[in-house]
Amino acid sequence: MSLLEVTDLRVSFRTADGVVQAVRGVSFSVEPGRTLGIVGESGSGKTVLTQSLLGLTPGGQISGKAVFDGVNLVGLDSRSLQNIRGKEIAVIFQDPLTSLHPLYKVGWQISEMIRAHDKSVTRAQATDRAIDLLGHVGIPRPRERVNDYPHQFSGGMRQRAMIAMAISLNPKLIIADEPTTALDATVQAQILDLLQRLQRESGTALLMITHDLGVVADIADDVMVMYAGRAAEKASKRDIFYRQHHPYTKGLLESIPNSSAAGGRLVPIAGQPPSLIRLPKGCAFHPRCAYVMDRCLTDEPALAPVGDAGEHRSACWLPSSALGPGPEAEDTRRRTVQAGRSGEAIKIAEAIAAAPESEGSVIA
């Protein structure tokens, strides 16, 4: 049984400029001990999606279901959510410097987290536990460093302290929101190793939100690619990397270093993500898609099974057999596009082909 089952989750915000449709009917599930990577450019809705699960989107209109361990988080009162936050579901944010309070010692902040959920724990017991946790996540001399302030820790150590705080109450689910973005490559690898080790030890489920497909390649079991508030493609990590279907997923893979087909040059995705207030009609990706066809301008594709196994799903009108970067799949895509493109779609495709590379976006 899934630990978290999200069904048709929608989150929107009323603003002076109009309604921001940040999340538009997303469904997914996470099993105990497994890692789901949620990938997309900035503004794709991945952070709002996960924050809405914990009631961290004030002013947001939320609908749908998010059943965690038998409890629907959508519409749950704030006291019940407070009991779940930290204890059952922990969050690791991107920037530990802004997540840790600069005026309190690191150890105090960890022990406070423990005591906030269990009043029977004394200050001394919580401090001992904080020392154990800091040692467990690889902070050297934890008995001394427990009394340091956040500015006395390096970036990697601060993120380790955040992870110590996240695991302090043995949560069933950890949401890691870009936890390695602010770190250099070596420290990033250490943090990912640490998360994997802790997950193996405790069987915790992990929701890894990232714009970095390299992180997903390291850590995820399954991947959901988000675009304009919706899931564009969902599959196992292997299918996403070797048998991807959606042109946006293909674009993401081509825009990261070392996977470019253009002899080491990054291939940007043309254009920029759309405004979530004024979304394009039809497929939201059509103004940037090299395979745009007539029906893409009017009809929004549903997330539907592709390939031979039902677990791989994509929201795209291209044939379900057009999988992966190989020449056969490309031929299928080309023939489908030739038969399905006329008038306006031809103009959009020509504009995409002529767009300067510098105006596109890479997410690496």
What residues make contact with ligand SF4 under the rule CB under 6 A? 246-247, 283, 285-286, 289, 291-293, 296, 301, 316-318
- Give the integer Cα–Cα distance in Å for 164 and 133: 5
Burial class (CB in 10 A: 0-12, 13-18, 19+), 302: exposed
Burial class (CB in 10 A: 0-12, 13-18, 19+), 283: buried
- Give the integer Cα–Cα distance in Å for 145 and 345: 61
- Check: CB of residue 37 under 8 Å from CB of residue 216: yes
- Give the integer Cα–Cα distance in Å for 315 and 249: 11
Closer to ligand SF4 by CB, 174 or 296: give it: 296
Burial class (CB in 10 A: 0-12, 13-18, 19+), 31: middle
Least distance in angstroms from the C-beta of 134 to ligand SF4: 46
Please give the backbone phi and psi of residue 173, each rounded to the nearest 5 degrees, phi first: -135, 135
Compute the C-alpha angle 337/340/343, nearest 5°: 105
Please give the sequence-ordered ranges of beta strands (E in DSSP) within the chain, or none if there are none: 4-15, 18-30, 35-39, 61-68, 71-72, 89-92, 173-177, 205-210, 222-227, 230-236, 304-305, 313-314
Least distance in angstroms from the C-beta of 330 to ligand SF4: 13
Least distance in angstroms from the C-beta of 91 to ligand SF4: 32
Least distance in angstroms from the C-beta of 249 to ligand SF4: 9
Least distance in angstroms from the C-beta of 317 to ligand SF4: 4
- Check: CB of residue 225 under 8 Å from CB of residue 233: yes
Closer to ligand SF4 by CB, 84 or 292: give it: 292
Least distance in angstroms from the C-beta of 40 to ligand SF4: 14
Cα→Cα distances 113→53, 135, 138, 150, 310, Å:
20, 17, 19, 16, 42
Closer to ligand SF4 by CB, 219 or 316: give it: 316
The residues near 182 (Cβ < 8 Å, ≥ 6 apart) are 94, 95, 96, 97, 155, 159
Closer to ligand SF4 by CB, 192 or 306: give it: 306
Closer to ligand SF4 by CB, 7 or 320: give it: 320
Q: Quick one: residue 93, left, alpha or beta (phi over 0 = left, psi -120 to 50 = alpha)?
A: beta
Closer to ligand SF4 by CB, 43 or 301: give it: 301
| Amino acid (one-letter) located at 166 | A
Least distance in angstroms from the C-beta of 211 to ligand SF4: 19
Closer to ligand SF4 by CB, 222 or 233: give it: 233
Least distance in angstroms from the C-beta of 316 to ligand SF4: 3
Least distance in angstroms from the C-beta of 12 to ligand SF4: 22
Structure tokens at 12: 């929107």
| Amino acid (one-letter) located at 93 | F
Closer to ligand SF4 by CB, 61 or 336: give it: 336
Closer to ligand SF4 by CB, 182 or 296: give it: 296
